[in-house]
Structure 1
C-alpha cells in the first residue's frame, strides 16, 4: 500500500513537473521573435549586409529604440543585386549621409502589419522623408521590391523581408 501511494505521488510529481516545463516552453515560444529589430535581424542570419550597414550608419541605437518601426529589410541576396562596388562605397565613412538616407528609406514610422494594407495601394512616408509606393493588391511590393516574408514581429515593430534594395528618388 505504501509502495502504491509512493507510485501515485511520483506520478503526480512527474505530471506537475511536465506541466511546469510545458508552461515554460509556451512562455518561451510566446517571447520568441520578440527581440528588437536589430537583434532579430542578427539572429536571422540572412541580413549580415544590412546589419553591417546599420552599424556603419550609426543607426543601431535608433533601431533598438522604443519605436514602433516598420522595416522593409533587404536580404544579403538583395544587396548582392546592386551594381558591383555599391555596398562597399556606401559603407565608406565619407558616404555615411548617403548610407543613412538609403537605410532610413527602408523604415516607416509605426507598426504596419500586412493585414493593415491588404488589398490597397498607397504611399507611405519613410523616416528618410521620401515616400515608398506600396501595392498590396496582388502580393506586396514596396517600390519595385517584393515582400518575400511579411509580419516578423519584434519588440519594437515589425520586419517585412524584401528581395531588392529600394533607393530614395
Structure 2
C-alpha cells in the first residue's frame, strides 16, 4: 500500500532532489517523486512531524487541505507548461488535464491565493521574460514570440503594467529583480 503526500513549493528538479533527500534521511520508502507530489510506502513508523519540520525549514510545506492541493496542482501544471516552452497555455486545457471544471478551479484558486488564475499566469510569463532578458539570448520580439504574445508591443505593455518599467529599462538596470517561481503569488 502507498500514501500520497502533496508538497507545496516543489517547482523544479532541484526541489524534487531536495525533498527526496529529506525523505530518505528520515527513512521513508519513496515510490515516486513528481513536482508537488510524493508517493511513499505506507508505514505507521514514519515520523510525519519531523518530515513537516524538515520540509518547512527548506521552504516546503505539506499540504493537508484538498483546496490547497488543487491550487498547487494548478500552479505546477502552469509552471511545467511555461518551462517546457508551451507558452500558449490555455487555462481551460489545464483544467481538463487536472480533470476538473475550469470555473470551479478558477474560483478555488482566486479564493485560496487572492489573485485570479489569469493574473497568476501573466505573472509567471513576466518572470520568464525577466529570465530571458537576463540571459540576453533573445531580443524582445523573440521573447514575445517564444511566450506566444501577439506581438512585442503587447508583451511590452503587459511587462510595464506588471513591473512598472519597460523591458528596456529593466534590461539597462542590470538589477535582476526576479522572484522565485514559488513566490509569484
Query: Which has the larger helix fraction?
Result: 2
The structure that is strand-richer by fraction is 1
Q: Which is greater in Rg?
A: 1
